[in-house]
Structure 1
Amino acid sequence: MRRKIHAYLPLLWLLAIPALNIFYVTLNHGGGQVNSLVTDIDRQIPFIPIFIIPYIFWYVFITGMLLLHFFKDKKSFGQTLVTLCTGLVACYMIYLQFQTTVPRPQLSSSGVLIHLVEWVYSHDQPFNCFPSIHVFTSYLMIKSVQGHAAFSRTFKAAVYFCAWLIICSTLFVKQHVLLDAAGAIALAEILHFAGKTLFNSKAFTLHKRRPSE
Protein backbone atom coordinates (compact mmCIF):
# COMPACT_ATOMS: atom_id res chain seq x y z
CA MET A 1 0.00 0.00 0.00
CA ARG A 2 2.80 2.39 0.92
CA ARG A 3 4.56 1.62 -2.35
CA LYS A 4 1.42 2.52 -4.31
CA ILE A 5 1.05 5.81 -2.43
CA HIS A 6 4.74 6.58 -2.90
CA ALA A 7 4.41 5.91 -6.64
CA TYR A 8 1.78 8.63 -6.97
CA LEU A 9 3.59 11.24 -4.87
CA PRO A 10 5.25 12.90 -7.92
CA LEU A 11 1.77 14.03 -8.97
CA LEU A 12 1.91 16.54 -6.13
CA TRP A 13 4.37 18.53 -8.24
CA LEU A 14 1.39 19.48 -10.40
CA LEU A 15 0.46 21.86 -7.57
CA ALA A 16 3.38 24.02 -8.70
CA ILE A 17 1.23 25.21 -11.62
CA PRO A 18 -1.60 26.81 -9.57
CA ALA A 19 1.03 28.10 -7.12
CA LEU A 20 2.83 29.90 -9.94
CA ASN A 21 -0.51 31.20 -11.19
CA ILE A 22 -0.52 33.61 -8.25
CA PHE A 23 2.06 35.68 -10.11
CA TYR A 24 -0.15 35.73 -13.23
CA VAL A 25 -3.03 37.25 -11.27
CA THR A 26 -0.72 39.76 -9.60
CA LEU A 27 0.73 40.94 -12.93
CA ASN A 28 -2.52 40.94 -14.90
CA HIS A 29 -3.29 44.67 -14.72
CA GLY A 30 -2.77 47.77 -16.82
CA GLY A 31 -0.58 49.76 -14.48
CA GLY A 32 2.38 51.58 -16.02
CA GLN A 33 3.23 51.42 -19.71
CA VAL A 34 1.10 49.00 -21.70
CA ASN A 35 2.13 48.10 -25.24
CA SER A 36 0.16 46.86 -28.24
CA LEU A 37 1.38 44.23 -30.71
CA VAL A 38 -1.73 44.33 -32.86
CA THR A 39 -0.97 44.18 -36.59
CA ASP A 40 -3.13 44.81 -39.65
CA ILE A 41 -3.46 41.05 -40.07
CA ASP A 42 -4.81 40.75 -36.53
CA ARG A 43 -7.45 43.35 -37.33
CA GLN A 44 -8.59 41.16 -40.22
CA ILE A 45 -9.02 38.08 -38.02
CA PRO A 46 -12.74 37.76 -37.18
CA PHE A 47 -14.19 37.25 -33.74
CA ILE A 48 -15.74 33.75 -33.74
CA PRO A 49 -17.52 32.93 -30.44
CA ILE A 50 -17.59 29.15 -30.96
CA PHE A 51 -13.81 29.07 -30.50
CA ILE A 52 -14.36 29.83 -26.83
CA ILE A 53 -15.02 26.08 -26.43
CA PRO A 54 -11.48 24.92 -27.34
CA TYR A 55 -10.12 27.94 -25.48
CA ILE A 56 -11.73 26.71 -22.25
CA PHE A 57 -10.99 23.06 -23.09
CA TRP A 58 -7.32 24.03 -22.68
CA TYR A 59 -7.61 23.44 -18.92
CA VAL A 60 -8.70 19.82 -19.47
CA PHE A 61 -6.19 19.30 -22.29
CA ILE A 62 -3.10 20.37 -20.35
CA THR A 63 -4.10 18.53 -17.17
CA GLY A 64 -4.96 15.38 -19.11
CA MET A 65 -1.71 15.45 -21.08
CA LEU A 66 0.41 15.80 -17.95
CA LEU A 67 -1.42 12.89 -16.32
CA LEU A 68 -0.94 10.76 -19.42
CA HIS A 69 2.78 11.51 -19.39
CA PHE A 70 2.90 10.49 -15.74
CA PHE A 71 1.32 7.10 -16.38
CA LYS A 72 3.20 6.46 -19.64
CA ASP A 73 6.68 7.72 -18.83
CA LYS A 74 7.78 9.28 -15.53
CA LYS A 75 10.86 10.85 -17.10
CA SER A 76 8.77 12.47 -19.82
CA PHE A 77 6.36 13.70 -17.15
CA GLY A 78 9.20 15.30 -15.20
CA GLN A 79 10.73 16.92 -18.26
CA THR A 80 7.40 18.28 -19.52
CA LEU A 81 6.35 19.61 -16.12
CA VAL A 82 9.71 21.27 -15.43
CA THR A 83 9.72 22.82 -18.91
CA LEU A 84 6.16 24.05 -18.46
CA CYS A 85 6.88 25.64 -15.08
CA THR A 86 10.09 27.19 -16.39
CA GLY A 87 8.08 28.65 -19.26
CA LEU A 88 5.52 30.10 -16.85
CA VAL A 89 8.28 31.82 -14.89
CA ALA A 90 9.76 33.16 -18.15
CA CYS A 91 6.36 34.50 -19.21
CA TYR A 92 5.83 36.22 -15.86
CA MET A 93 9.23 37.87 -16.07
CA ILE A 94 8.34 39.19 -19.53
CA TYR A 95 4.96 40.45 -18.31
CA LEU A 96 6.71 42.28 -15.50
CA GLN A 97 8.99 44.15 -17.91
CA PHE A 98 6.89 44.27 -21.07
CA GLN A 99 3.15 44.42 -20.45
CA THR A 100 0.89 44.17 -23.50
CA THR A 101 -2.84 44.27 -24.10
CA VAL A 102 -5.32 43.13 -26.74
CA PRO A 103 -8.49 45.09 -27.63
CA ARG A 104 -11.65 43.08 -27.08
CA PRO A 105 -14.83 43.27 -29.15
CA GLN A 106 -18.08 44.71 -27.87
CA LEU A 107 -20.36 41.78 -27.00
CA SER A 108 -23.79 42.99 -28.03
CA SER A 109 -25.46 39.66 -28.82
CA SER A 110 -26.52 36.89 -26.43
CA GLY A 111 -26.40 33.12 -26.22
CA VAL A 112 -24.42 30.40 -24.47
CA LEU A 113 -21.20 31.05 -26.40
CA ILE A 114 -21.32 34.78 -25.73
CA HIS A 115 -21.94 34.11 -22.05
CA LEU A 116 -18.85 31.87 -22.00
CA VAL A 117 -16.81 34.62 -23.66
CA GLU A 118 -18.11 37.12 -21.09
CA TRP A 119 -17.15 34.72 -18.32
CA VAL A 120 -13.59 34.43 -19.65
CA TYR A 121 -13.30 38.18 -20.14
CA SER A 122 -14.56 38.87 -16.61
CA HIS A 123 -12.07 36.43 -15.04
CA ASP A 124 -9.06 37.35 -17.16
CA GLN A 125 -8.01 40.96 -17.70
CA PRO A 126 -6.77 41.83 -21.24
CA PHE A 127 -3.11 41.95 -20.22
CA ASN A 128 -0.31 39.37 -19.80
CA CYS A 129 -0.57 38.73 -23.51
CA PHE A 130 2.96 38.33 -24.88
CA PRO A 131 3.84 35.50 -24.96
CA SER A 132 0.58 33.56 -24.71
CA ILE A 133 0.54 30.92 -21.99
CA HIS A 134 -2.31 29.11 -23.76
CA VAL A 135 -0.16 28.84 -26.87
CA PHE A 136 3.07 28.04 -25.03
CA THR A 137 1.61 25.14 -23.05
CA SER A 138 -0.42 23.76 -25.97
CA TYR A 139 2.57 23.80 -28.32
CA LEU A 140 4.69 22.23 -25.57
CA MET A 141 2.28 19.28 -25.53
CA ILE A 142 2.95 18.82 -29.25
CA LYS A 143 6.69 18.76 -28.62
CA SER A 144 6.26 16.38 -25.68
CA VAL A 145 4.76 13.62 -27.83
CA GLN A 146 6.92 14.05 -30.92
CA GLY A 147 9.14 11.02 -31.38
CA HIS A 148 7.76 9.43 -28.21
CA ALA A 149 7.35 5.69 -28.71
CA ALA A 150 4.77 5.38 -25.93
CA PHE A 151 2.16 7.27 -27.96
CA SER A 152 0.54 6.00 -31.15
CA ARG A 153 0.31 7.95 -34.40
CA THR A 154 -3.42 8.34 -33.93
CA PHE A 155 -2.98 9.75 -30.46
CA LYS A 156 -0.26 12.14 -31.62
CA ALA A 157 -2.52 13.34 -34.44
CA ALA A 158 -5.27 14.00 -31.89
CA VAL A 159 -2.82 15.96 -29.72
CA TYR A 160 -1.68 18.04 -32.70
CA PHE A 161 -5.29 18.75 -33.66
CA CYS A 162 -6.37 19.77 -30.16
CA ALA A 163 -3.26 21.88 -29.57
CA TRP A 164 -3.55 23.81 -32.84
CA LEU A 165 -7.29 24.28 -32.31
CA ILE A 166 -6.56 25.86 -28.93
CA ILE A 167 -3.79 27.99 -30.43
CA CYS A 168 -6.16 29.27 -33.13
CA SER A 169 -8.87 29.87 -30.53
CA THR A 170 -6.71 32.45 -28.74
CA LEU A 171 -6.84 34.57 -31.91
CA PHE A 172 -10.51 34.04 -32.76
CA VAL A 173 -11.77 34.96 -29.28
CA LYS A 174 -9.47 38.00 -29.24
CA GLN A 175 -7.42 36.96 -26.24
CA HIS A 176 -4.16 37.18 -28.16
CA VAL A 177 -2.58 38.39 -31.40
CA LEU A 178 -0.22 36.71 -33.86
CA LEU A 179 2.97 37.95 -32.20
CA ASP A 180 1.76 36.57 -28.86
CA ALA A 181 1.41 33.14 -30.47
CA ALA A 182 4.72 33.37 -32.35
CA GLY A 183 6.60 34.38 -29.21
CA ALA A 184 5.03 31.52 -27.25
CA ILE A 185 5.94 28.94 -29.89
CA ALA A 186 9.53 30.20 -30.01
CA LEU A 187 9.73 30.02 -26.21
CA ALA A 188 8.37 26.45 -26.22
CA GLU A 189 10.90 25.37 -28.85
CA ILE A 190 13.82 26.84 -26.89
CA LEU A 191 12.79 25.51 -23.48
CA HIS A 192 11.83 22.08 -24.79
CA PHE A 193 15.23 21.71 -26.43
CA ALA A 194 16.97 22.88 -23.24
CA GLY A 195 14.85 20.59 -21.08
CA LYS A 196 15.43 17.58 -23.32
CA THR A 197 19.18 18.24 -23.32
CA LEU A 198 19.23 18.59 -19.54
CA PHE A 199 17.17 15.48 -18.82
CA ASN A 200 19.26 13.42 -21.23
CA SER A 201 22.50 14.55 -19.61
CA LYS A 202 24.51 12.32 -17.31
CA ALA A 203 23.26 14.22 -14.28
CA PHE A 204 19.74 12.90 -14.91
CA THR A 205 20.64 9.45 -16.17
CA LEU A 206 19.51 6.67 -13.86
CA HIS A 207 22.31 4.21 -13.37
CA LYS A 208 21.31 0.57 -13.53
CA ARG A 209 21.84 -1.41 -10.41
CA ARG A 210 24.59 -3.93 -10.60
CA PRO A 211 23.39 -7.48 -10.17
CA SER A 212 24.06 -8.76 -6.68
CA GLU A 213 26.87 -11.19 -6.51
Structure 2
Amino acid sequence: MRKLKDFITNFFKQYRHIWILSYFAIYLVWFNYLEKMVTTHFHVIHVPIDDYIPFCEYFVIPYIMWFGYVAWGITYTALHNKNDFYRLCGFLFTGMTIFLIVSTLYPNGQYLRPYYFSHHNLCTTLCEWLYSTDTPTNLFPSIHVYNSLGIHFAVMKSEELKDKKTVRILSFILCTSIIMATMFIKQHSVFDVSTAFILAFVMYNLVYVRNWSKLPQSSAGHLKDKKRLPQV
Protein backbone atom coordinates (compact mmCIF):
# COMPACT_ATOMS: atom_id res chain seq x y z
CA MET A 1 0.00 0.00 0.00
CA ARG A 2 2.85 2.35 0.84
CA LYS A 3 4.49 1.67 -2.54
CA LEU A 4 1.24 2.51 -4.30
CA LYS A 5 0.90 5.72 -2.30
CA ASP A 6 4.49 6.68 -3.13
CA PHE A 7 3.89 5.92 -6.81
CA ILE A 8 0.79 8.12 -6.93
CA THR A 9 2.56 10.92 -5.07
CA ASN A 10 5.59 10.81 -7.36
CA PHE A 11 3.38 10.62 -10.44
CA PHE A 12 1.48 13.80 -9.58
CA LYS A 13 4.69 15.56 -8.65
CA GLN A 14 6.25 14.73 -12.00
CA TYR A 15 3.11 15.35 -14.05
CA ARG A 16 1.47 18.11 -12.02
CA HIS A 17 0.97 20.07 -15.23
CA ILE A 18 -2.01 17.83 -16.09
CA TRP A 19 -4.13 19.88 -13.68
CA ILE A 20 -5.16 22.06 -16.62
CA LEU A 21 -7.21 19.13 -17.92
CA SER A 22 -9.77 20.15 -15.30
CA TYR A 23 -10.97 22.50 -18.08
CA PHE A 24 -12.93 19.53 -19.42
CA ALA A 25 -15.22 19.68 -16.38
CA ILE A 26 -16.17 23.25 -17.30
CA TYR A 27 -16.55 22.34 -20.96
CA LEU A 28 -18.78 19.32 -20.33
CA VAL A 29 -21.11 21.21 -17.96
CA TRP A 30 -21.47 24.09 -20.43
CA PHE A 31 -21.87 21.80 -23.43
CA ASN A 32 -24.50 19.61 -21.73
CA TYR A 33 -26.42 22.73 -20.79
CA LEU A 34 -26.47 23.81 -24.45
CA GLU A 35 -27.51 20.35 -25.59
CA LYS A 36 -30.53 20.50 -23.30
CA MET A 37 -31.46 24.11 -24.03
CA VAL A 38 -30.96 24.20 -27.81
CA THR A 39 -33.45 21.69 -29.20
CA THR A 40 -35.97 23.23 -31.60
CA HIS A 41 -35.50 26.97 -31.83
CA PHE A 42 -32.22 27.54 -33.61
CA HIS A 43 -30.65 28.97 -36.76
CA VAL A 44 -30.47 26.28 -39.44
CA ILE A 45 -26.99 25.58 -40.79
CA HIS A 46 -26.98 24.55 -44.43
CA VAL A 47 -25.04 25.27 -47.62
CA PRO A 48 -25.93 23.97 -51.11
CA ILE A 49 -22.95 21.62 -51.33
CA ASP A 50 -24.32 19.67 -48.37
CA ASP A 51 -27.02 18.25 -50.64
CA TYR A 52 -24.43 16.72 -52.96
CA ILE A 53 -22.60 14.80 -50.25
CA PRO A 54 -24.06 11.27 -49.97
CA PHE A 55 -24.69 9.57 -46.67
CA CYS A 56 -22.17 6.78 -46.03
CA GLU A 57 -22.59 4.93 -42.77
CA TYR A 58 -19.10 3.39 -42.86
CA PHE A 59 -17.59 6.72 -41.92
CA VAL A 60 -19.11 6.33 -38.47
CA ILE A 61 -16.04 4.24 -37.61
CA PRO A 62 -13.45 7.05 -37.92
CA TYR A 63 -15.99 9.45 -36.41
CA ILE A 64 -16.11 7.38 -33.22
CA MET A 65 -12.32 6.85 -33.31
CA TRP A 66 -12.02 10.61 -32.78
CA PHE A 67 -12.48 10.14 -29.05
CA GLY A 68 -9.50 7.80 -28.82
CA TYR A 69 -7.44 9.97 -31.17
CA VAL A 70 -7.87 13.09 -29.05
CA ALA A 71 -7.32 11.20 -25.79
CA TRP A 72 -4.13 9.65 -27.18
CA GLY A 73 -2.76 12.99 -28.36
CA ILE A 74 -3.35 14.70 -25.02
CA THR A 75 -1.97 11.77 -23.02
CA TYR A 76 1.11 11.36 -25.20
CA THR A 77 2.13 15.01 -24.98
CA ALA A 78 1.37 15.12 -21.25
CA LEU A 79 3.73 12.21 -20.60
CA HIS A 80 6.49 13.06 -23.06
CA ASN A 81 6.86 16.79 -23.55
CA LYS A 82 5.42 19.46 -21.28
CA ASN A 83 5.77 22.29 -23.81
CA ASP A 84 3.98 20.26 -26.50
CA PHE A 85 1.26 19.51 -23.96
CA TYR A 86 0.78 23.20 -23.15
CA ARG A 87 0.70 24.10 -26.84
CA LEU A 88 -1.86 21.43 -27.60
CA CYS A 89 -4.09 22.32 -24.65
CA GLY A 90 -3.85 26.02 -25.53
CA PHE A 91 -4.91 25.19 -29.07
CA LEU A 92 -7.75 22.84 -28.09
CA PHE A 93 -9.15 24.74 -25.13
CA THR A 94 -9.23 28.10 -26.90
CA GLY A 95 -11.13 26.67 -29.86
CA MET A 96 -13.51 24.73 -27.63
CA THR A 97 -14.28 27.85 -25.61
CA ILE A 98 -14.94 29.85 -28.78
CA PHE A 99 -17.27 27.06 -29.91
CA LEU A 100 -19.22 27.25 -26.63
CA ILE A 101 -19.53 31.03 -26.86
CA VAL A 102 -20.74 30.86 -30.47
CA SER A 103 -23.29 28.18 -29.62
CA THR A 104 -24.53 30.21 -26.66
CA LEU A 105 -24.92 33.48 -28.56
CA TYR A 106 -26.06 31.92 -31.84
CA PRO A 107 -28.07 28.72 -31.23
CA ASN A 108 -27.73 26.57 -34.33
CA GLY A 109 -28.62 23.18 -35.73
CA GLN A 110 -29.17 21.20 -38.93
CA TYR A 111 -31.64 18.91 -40.70
CA LEU A 112 -29.13 16.89 -42.73
CA ARG A 113 -29.56 13.51 -41.08
CA PRO A 114 -31.45 10.83 -43.02
CA TYR A 115 -34.96 10.13 -41.78
CA TYR A 116 -34.50 6.39 -42.20
CA PHE A 117 -31.93 3.88 -43.44
CA SER A 118 -32.70 1.93 -46.61
CA HIS A 119 -30.63 -0.97 -45.29
CA HIS A 120 -29.25 -2.06 -41.94
CA ASN A 121 -25.83 -3.21 -40.79
CA LEU A 122 -23.46 -2.63 -37.90
CA CYS A 123 -22.54 0.84 -39.09
CA THR A 124 -26.15 2.02 -39.44
CA THR A 125 -26.77 0.68 -35.94
CA LEU A 126 -23.84 2.76 -34.71
CA CYS A 127 -25.25 5.78 -36.52
CA GLU A 128 -28.64 5.26 -34.87
CA TRP A 129 -26.92 5.11 -31.50
CA LEU A 130 -24.90 8.23 -32.29
CA TYR A 131 -27.96 10.15 -33.44
CA SER A 132 -29.80 9.19 -30.24
CA THR A 133 -26.98 10.41 -27.98
CA ASP A 134 -25.88 13.53 -29.87
CA THR A 135 -28.39 16.16 -30.92
CA PRO A 136 -28.02 17.83 -34.37
CA THR A 137 -27.39 21.18 -32.67
CA ASN A 138 -24.41 23.27 -31.56
CA LEU A 139 -22.46 22.62 -34.72
CA PHE A 140 -19.92 25.24 -35.65
CA PRO A 141 -17.06 25.41 -35.71
CA SER A 142 -16.99 21.61 -35.72
CA ILE A 143 -15.07 20.44 -32.65
CA HIS A 144 -14.57 17.04 -34.29
CA VAL A 145 -12.73 18.76 -37.13
CA TYR A 146 -10.97 21.40 -35.06
CA ASN A 147 -9.62 19.01 -32.43
CA SER A 148 -8.57 16.48 -35.07
CA LEU A 149 -6.49 19.17 -36.75
CA GLY A 150 -5.10 20.15 -33.34
CA ILE A 151 -3.93 16.61 -32.59
CA HIS A 152 -2.36 16.23 -36.02
CA PHE A 153 -0.55 19.56 -35.65
CA ALA A 154 0.81 18.36 -32.31
CA VAL A 155 2.02 15.13 -33.92
CA MET A 156 3.76 16.98 -36.73
CA LYS A 157 5.39 19.42 -34.29
CA SER A 158 6.49 16.78 -31.79
CA GLU A 159 10.24 16.30 -31.39
CA GLU A 160 9.64 12.77 -30.14
CA LEU A 161 7.64 11.85 -33.25
CA LYS A 162 9.63 13.68 -35.92
CA ASP A 163 11.40 10.46 -36.98
CA LYS A 164 8.35 8.21 -36.60
CA LYS A 165 7.04 8.41 -40.14
CA THR A 166 4.43 5.70 -39.65
CA VAL A 167 2.82 7.52 -36.73
CA ARG A 168 2.74 10.78 -38.67
CA ILE A 169 1.18 9.12 -41.72
CA LEU A 170 -1.41 7.27 -39.64
CA SER A 171 -2.27 10.51 -37.86
CA PHE A 172 -2.83 12.25 -41.19
CA ILE A 173 -5.01 9.41 -42.48
CA LEU A 174 -7.12 9.30 -39.31
CA CYS A 175 -7.41 13.10 -39.13
CA THR A 176 -8.55 13.25 -42.76
CA SER A 177 -10.99 10.35 -42.28
CA ILE A 178 -12.56 12.00 -39.24
CA ILE A 179 -13.02 15.29 -41.09
CA MET A 180 -14.68 13.49 -44.00
CA ALA A 181 -16.80 11.47 -41.59
CA THR A 182 -18.42 14.56 -40.10
CA MET A 183 -20.00 15.26 -43.49
CA PHE A 184 -20.61 11.73 -44.79
CA ILE A 185 -22.61 10.63 -41.75
CA LYS A 186 -24.43 13.96 -41.82
CA GLN A 187 -23.29 15.17 -38.43
CA HIS A 188 -22.02 18.47 -39.81
CA SER A 189 -22.48 20.85 -42.69
CA VAL A 190 -19.61 21.88 -44.93
CA PHE A 191 -20.02 25.26 -43.25
CA ASP A 192 -19.11 23.75 -39.86
CA VAL A 193 -16.04 22.09 -41.36
CA SER A 194 -14.95 25.26 -43.13
CA THR A 195 -15.25 27.42 -40.02
CA ALA A 196 -13.27 24.82 -38.06
CA PHE A 197 -10.47 25.02 -40.64
CA ILE A 198 -10.45 28.82 -40.46
CA LEU A 199 -10.27 28.82 -36.67
CA ALA A 200 -7.58 26.11 -36.72
CA PHE A 201 -5.51 28.15 -39.17
CA VAL A 202 -5.70 31.21 -36.91
CA MET A 203 -4.86 29.25 -33.77
CA TYR A 204 -2.02 27.36 -35.49
CA ASN A 205 -0.35 30.67 -36.27
CA LEU A 206 -0.90 31.98 -32.75
CA VAL A 207 0.19 28.83 -30.93
CA TYR A 208 2.87 27.32 -33.14
CA VAL A 209 4.19 30.10 -35.38
CA ARG A 210 4.15 33.51 -33.73
CA ASN A 211 4.68 32.85 -30.04
CA TRP A 212 5.52 29.30 -29.09
CA SER A 213 8.06 28.77 -31.86
CA LYS A 214 10.20 31.41 -30.16
CA LEU A 215 10.69 29.29 -27.05
CA PRO A 216 14.34 28.33 -26.41
CA GLN A 217 15.12 24.96 -27.90
CA SER A 218 16.50 23.85 -24.56
CA SER A 219 13.02 24.10 -23.03
CA ALA A 220 11.72 21.26 -25.18
CA GLY A 221 12.49 17.64 -24.58
CA HIS A 222 11.42 14.49 -22.87
CA LEU A 223 9.89 14.81 -19.43
CA LYS A 224 12.34 12.28 -18.13
CA ASP A 225 15.11 14.76 -18.69
CA LYS A 226 14.21 16.92 -15.69
CA LYS A 227 17.01 19.39 -16.29
CA ARG A 228 15.44 20.45 -19.57
CA LEU A 229 11.94 20.97 -18.17
CA PRO A 230 10.67 24.46 -17.34
CA GLN A 231 9.81 24.86 -13.67
CA VAL A 232 6.14 25.11 -12.76
Select 1:172's aligned residue among 167, 176, 184.
184
Which residue number corresponds to residue 135 of structure 2?
125
Provide, for residues 125-160 of structure 1, a one-character-per-residue CA deviation record: whole Å limited to 9, x for no partner: 111111100000001112222343321222111111
Provide, for residues 100-139 of structure 1, a one-character-per-residue CA deviation record: whole Å limited to 9, x for no partner: 2222102334332122111111111111111100000001
TM-score by length of 2: 0.80
Where does structure 1 lack aligned partners over 5 or more consecutive residues?
none
- In structure 2, C-alpha distance between the alignment counterparts of 1:82 and 1:44, rounded to whole Å: 36
CA contact (8 A) 2:182 2:188 kept: yes
Q: Alpha carbons of 1:12 and 1:147: their partners in 2 closer, same or farther (altered >3 Å)?
A: closer
Which residue number corresponds to residue 166 of structure 2?
154
Select 2:78's aligned residue among 63, 70, 73.
70
In structure 2, give the amino acid aligned to 1:92. Answer: L
In structure 1, give the amino acid aligned to 2:26. Answer: A
Select 1:99's aligned residue among 95, 104, 107.
107
- In structure 1, C-alpha distance between the alignment counterparts of 2:190 and 2:166, rounded to whole Å: 29
CA apart distance, 1:14:
2.4
CA apart distance, 1:55:
0.6
Residue 46 in 1 paired to residue 54 in 2? yes
In structure 2, give the amino acid aligned to 1:34. Answer: H
Kindly report which structure 2 residues correspond to 1:1-213, keeping only aligned pairs within 5 A, or say none. Answer: 1=6, 2-28=9-35, 29-30=38-39, 32-36=41-45, 38-103=46-111, 104-108=113-117, 109-151=119-161, 152-196=164-208, 197-200=210-213
CA apart distance, 1:30:
3.3
CA apart distance, 1:174:
0.2
In structure 2, give the amino acid aligned to 1:124. Answer: D
- In structure 1, C-alpha distance between the alignment counterparts of 2:147 and 2:43, rounded to whole Å: 24
- In structure 2, C-alpha distance between the alignment counterparts of 1:50 and 1:33, rounded to whole Å: 29
Q: What is the alpha-carbon root mean square deviation over aligned residues?
A: 2.3
TM-score by length of 1: 0.86
CA apart distance, 1:32:
4.0
- In structure 2, C-alpha distance between the alignment counterparts of 1:110 and 1:31, rounded to whole Å: 28
Q: Residue 123 of structure 2 aligns to a residue in which SS?
A: helix
Q: Residue 186 of structure 1 aligns to a residue in which SS?
A: helix
- In structure 2, C-alpha distance between the alignment counterparts of 1:121 and 1:12, rounded to whole Å: 32
CA apart distance, 1:180:
0.6
CA contact (8 A) 1:107 1:114 kept: no
Q: Alpha carbons of 1:172 and 1:18: their partners in 2 closer, same or farther (altered >3 Å)?
A: farther
CA apart distance, 1:31:
5.1
Where does structure 2 lack aligned partners over 5 or more consecutive residues?
1-5, 220-226
Provide, for residues 42-63 of structure 1, a one-character-per-residue CA deviation record: whole Å limited to 9, x for no partner: 1111111111111111100000
